[in-house]
Amino acid sequence: MGPANPWLLSNCRLEEGCHLFDSMFVVLISKFFTRALHHIVIKISIAMLSKKLVSCVILDLDGTLLNTDGVVNDVLKALLVKLGKQWDSKAAHKIVGKTPYEAAAIIVQDYGLQCTIEDFGSEITSLFSDQWCNIKPLPGAERLLKHLRCHGVPMALASNSPRVNVESKISFHPGWKESFSAIVAGDEVRSGKPSPDIYFEAAKRLNVEPSNCLVIEDSLPGVLAGKAAGMEVVAVPSLPKQHHLYTSADEVINSLLDLQPEKWGLPPFQDWIDGTLPLEPWHIGGPVIKGYGRGSKMLGIPTANLSTEAYAAVLSEHPSGVYFGWAGLSTRGIYKMVMSIGWNPYFNNTEKTIEPWLLHNFNEDFYGEELHLTIVGYIRPEANFSSLESLIARIHEDGRIAERALDLPIYSRYKDDPYLRCTLPGAW
């Protein structure tokens, strides 16, 4: 047997060295990613621990659970016209979260009314009482109450309104009164919000420490009251473009649809499906109008705008955000669509708009055609973006989410909604 081939020997040693190097490399990479993952887990844990875990939830009523803004505007408008004045809805922020007496005092003074605060308060209370039956729950309110009730989370209701008004309002919503372990009204404490009295009393009736309570509020006085009581507070501002004022809140969300109970140690919702939240279907429709011209020109995403004036009431009932569903065009057919409702913070709109994007390539415009929409789900809240590119990328992602979701049976069945077909040729 001849001498070993030195080239083969060196090649074998080289291969052994390579395997050794590979093993060391894998170990180093593994350690690197293990440490990186460890740091990520620590950061996530710290972020979660920065929010206190709670055992009870205390909710405000008007503007948080009930959509009273529309009724308030309508009643004030009618009453002030009767008194020879014109109600300015832009001044609504002055009375949000106030007690009825405080709100009446502000209006009497601001409008120079020739009546006492008591007389004005008495007349407007009577008008409001006639409208309690027409006040609808805000989106996500029924869902939240049912979720917390099913998981045995104690709840209290804390409202600046008098007890008789609170009882009357919730009487039109079956199961609400029974959902609350305690109800505290403004006339049952020494001082209303922003004083913490009402929240201290709610915690007392729940037999828990204030620090174990999560408050959900829409008004700034309510947020201040909750924090003054030493509670965790989630703000859901009822007035548009007011988020920046709620710096004292522990979290500010766009609507109750965006609440994540697990952040506070409460049971999470289990009803999200592939990045979407199923909703009770609602409808909107009308002729397609010209919008700002940004969709096609700036974004490369042609939207079919609808009039905001014709649907002001519908817009007030639904929070800003990205929704999806089905669109029926009068002369063309039915298509998947994703839609934004809101103020478009990147462009800083001055009015709330509806901008559906039909997920189909059309060869021409269809201004003036009748468009009917059936909205079946929710994707996310309205958000601002640091660049036009990031906005466009997010819109396309919303489109992909809607495209996939609408193939699911829970959503696809609404393609046959008669509302969509009533504008099509030959439809009944």
Choosing from 60, 251, 382, 417, which is the catalytic residue?
A: 60
- Active-site annotation holds for 280: no
Per DSSP (E only), the strands in 257-315 are 277-287
Contacts of 146 (CB under 8 A, 6+ apart): none
Work out the burial of residue 420: count CB atoms within 10 Å of its CB; fewer than 13 is exposed, 13-18 middle, 19 or more buried.
buried
Q: Where are the alpha helices (DSSP H) in 50-99?
A: 69-82
**Strands 182-185 vs 155-159: parallel, antiparallel or unpaired:** parallel
Q: Hey, how many other C-beta atoms are within 10 angstroms of the C-beta on 188?
A: 16
Eight-class DSSP state of 39: H
355 flagged as catalytic:
yes
262 noted as active-site residue: no
Nearest alpha-carbon partner for 65 in 156, 1, 199: 156
Q: Which of 217, 355, 382, 398 is catalytic?
A: 355
Identity at 391, one-letter amino acid code: L
Quick check: 401 and 277 in contact, CB under 8 A? no
> Which one-letter DSSP state was computed for residue 348?
T
As to burial, measured by CB atoms within 10 angstroms (0-12 exposed, 13-18 middle, 19+ buried), residue 173 is middle
Cis before 194? omega within 30? yes
∠ Cα 44 45 49 (to 5°): 120
Q: Tokens 């804390």 identify what position? A: 158
Q: Which of 71, 80, 240 has its CA nearest to residue 169?
A: 71
What sign results for the dihedral spanned by CA atoms 139, 142, 144, 147?
Answer: negative
User: Reading across the β-sheet that carries 321-329, which strands appear in turn?
Assistant: 277-287, 370-380, 321-329, 333-342, 353-358
Q: Which residues are catalytic?
A: 60, 62, 355
